[in-house]
Amino acid sequence: MKPIRLISGFLTVGVWTLLSRVLGFVRDILIAGFLGAGPVAEAFLIAFALPNMFRRFFAEGAFNMAFVPMFSKKLEKGEDAASFARDAFAGLATILIVLTVLAHIFMPYLVLMMASGFAADERLEVAVYLGRITFVYILFISLAALTSGVLNASGRFAAAAAAPVLLNIILIIAVWIGSAGCKCLPNQEQFWIGVHLAWGVAIAGVAQLALVWWSAHRAGFTLTPRLPRLTPEIKQLAIIAAPAMLAGGVVQINLLVGRQVASFYDGAIAWLSYADRLYQLPLGVVAIALGVVLLPDLSRRLAAGDEAGGRDAFNRASELALALTIPAAVALIAIPLPLVSVLFERGAFDSDDAAATALAVSVYGVGLPAFVLQKSLQPLFFAREDTKRPFYFAAVAMVVNAVVAIGLSFYIGFIAAAVATTLAGWVMVWLLWRGSRNMGDAARFDRRFKTRIWRIVLASALMGGVLLLAVLIVGPALGMPGVRYAALAFVVVLGIVSYFGFGQLLGAFRLAEFKAAMRRG
């Protein structure tokens, strides 16, 4: 894949992910308005987090990190990649079916594993009920993730990137139906909205799998169900995936620690979740696109012995990722309260909820560049089928996260979970960077990257000043129901225009590069 095609693929995934994240905001605005930070909201968020935790452990975080490089190399060498994909599909499906059955049996223990603060609390019963509905999502979405890996490795990014849009559309419809069609007592309305959301999650999994399966079928990769076979390739896949699964488990332990800390503070799980949605917008658009496009490209280049091309792809993708992420991080740090209050403060979500969520947003903003850099550095290891060292690095970051989250919670409360996540993210980046030093030129930042990164930082800092000034100017309008969306849009657009203007003047990037990549995309 030539650099311009790499960037166009990056933009294809990024645009679809942006649409998904925007719809995710609409979804979360509705959830916050109807459920606020109350017990049903927290129960649903935990129930929804359960399949997503195991999904990242089995599929996106581990299985695909091992599967995509192997599949890409088979494509590069003209081997029978389709048969390998079908065997992997069958093996993963078998594991997931067993896991789903066990999860339904042991759901109360899984909920307490996620949030022990729910014990002897009304939230436990609701979370268990909703969790048994949502957990089937893992079967469909994990198989969809593997199918998406097939599409991405063959250079087809659109369908896999578009699939998450279906989830948010279906959940928006579920909230609307639950709120409009509920004929129950007022004190039960929130519960039935939660039930509609849970069923929406399950239905969305089926829809997402159907979309990417059909796209793979049209691309010549028909992943038909069949009995699993322990072929030599599947054995090799398991050997490579095992350390990645352990690394994925470590990452999920980090999330578990944060949720456990938050579960002991009323409303904190919801505050952190809504804050997560805000920083996940730029993270999802940039980091997911980076991981989806860069890993198969690096794998193919290394298989072909193209070290110079690999280095250029790594640098240009990292450069573009940080050019889009650093200004987003500055914005989250500079104006978190206006963002949260305009987007979420309505209905059951009050000003106290907005203030607590904004605090978490600013802390996550500090860690945003680290979360993106991880997605840039990890493919350097996974493309070489090295999944062991990322596991060791993740284990160190896990210890840092646990010590900070639990230790600081006695002094600063729920926000300790966000501080720990951010600090552990930067520790992970440092370990990955240090570990990549012996990989040769393909893993080194080139002169252009080193020159531009500081100019990107300066342009972002100047943009932050513009944002603060803009908020001072339109401050009263941000609190007026009729015009606050327009006022926030003005602030955001002014920030974007100023950033790209400063960046062009300082030589942080060239706008023509973005235009060329978009035309090619």
Whole-angstrom distance, CA of residue 216 vs CA of residue 71:
14
| The predicted structure's pLDDT at residue 497 | 93
The Cα 31–Cα 34 span in angstroms is 5
Distances (CA, A) of 218 to 160, 163, 210: 13, 16, 12
Look up the domain containing 139 and give its range.
3-520
Report pLDDT for 108.
93
**pLDDT at 4 (0 to 100):** 42
- Identity of the highest mean pLDDT range in 211-215, 255-259, 479-483: 211-215
User: What angle is formed at CA 361 by the lines to CA 358 and CA 366, rounded to 5 degrees?
Assistant: 135
Q: How far apart are the first and last CA of the chain?
A: 13
Span 269-296, pLDDT tens digits = 888 888 888 887 777 666 666 655 665 6
Range with the poorest average pLDDT among 54-63, 107-116, 213-222, 494-503:
54-63
Q: How confident is the model at residue 258 (pLDDT cuts 50, 70, 90)?
A: confident
Cα dihedral 317→318→322→325 (10° resolution):
60
Mean pLDDT of 390-414: 89
Q: Pick the residue with more confidence: 131 or 315?
A: 131
CA pair distance 50, 82, nearest whole angstrom:
31
Q: Is the pLDDT of residue 197 over 50?
A: yes
Calculate the average pLDDT of the chain: 82
Q: Which residues are CB-neighbours of 39 under 8 A, at least 6 positions away?
A: 121, 122, 123, 126
How do residues 8-19 score in pLDDT, each as one tens digit? 555 666 677 778
pLDDT digits (tens, 9 = 90+) for 202-236: 999 999 999 989 988 888 888 877 777 788 878 87
Is 144 or 321 the better-scoring residue by pLDDT?
Answer: 144
pLDDT of 349-359, one tens digit each?
888 888 999 99
Alpha-carbon distance 27 to 40, whole Å? 16
Is residue 26 pLDDT above 80, yes or no? yes
pLDDT tens-digit series, residues 94-118: 888 999 999 999 999 999 888 888 8
Q: Is 367 helix (H, G, I), strand (E, B) or coil?
A: helix
Cα separation, 12 vs 298, in Å, equals 18
Half-sphere exposure (CA, 13 Å, Cβ side) for 235?
3
**Which pTM was predicted?**
0.70
**Which pLDDT does position 520 carry in this prediction?**
45
- Total domains in the chain come to 1
Structure tokens of 234? 């599947």
d(CA 295, CA 272): 30
pLDDT-based confidence at 518, cuts 50/70/90?
very low
Whether residue 354 contacts residue 266, with contact meaning beta carbons closer than 8 Å, is answered with no
CB-based contact 400:420 (threshold 8 Å): yes
Mean pLDDT over 384-390 rounds to 75
SS (H, E, C) 102-170: HHHHCHHHHHHHHCHHHCCCHHHHHHHHHHHHHCCHHHHHHHHHHHHHHHHHCCCCHHHHHHHHHHHHH
Q: Which has more pLDDT, 305 or 312?
A: 312
Taking residues 35-49, report their average pLDDT.
Answer: 87
Which CA distances in Å does 87 have to 82, 137, 146, 229, 520? Answer: 9, 21, 11, 6, 35
CA distance 503 to 497: 10
Q: What pLDDT band is residue 183 in, cutting at 50, 70 and 90?
A: low
CA atoms of 36 and 111, how far apart (whole Å): 20
What pLDDT does residue 361 have?
93
Res 2 pLDDT > 50: no
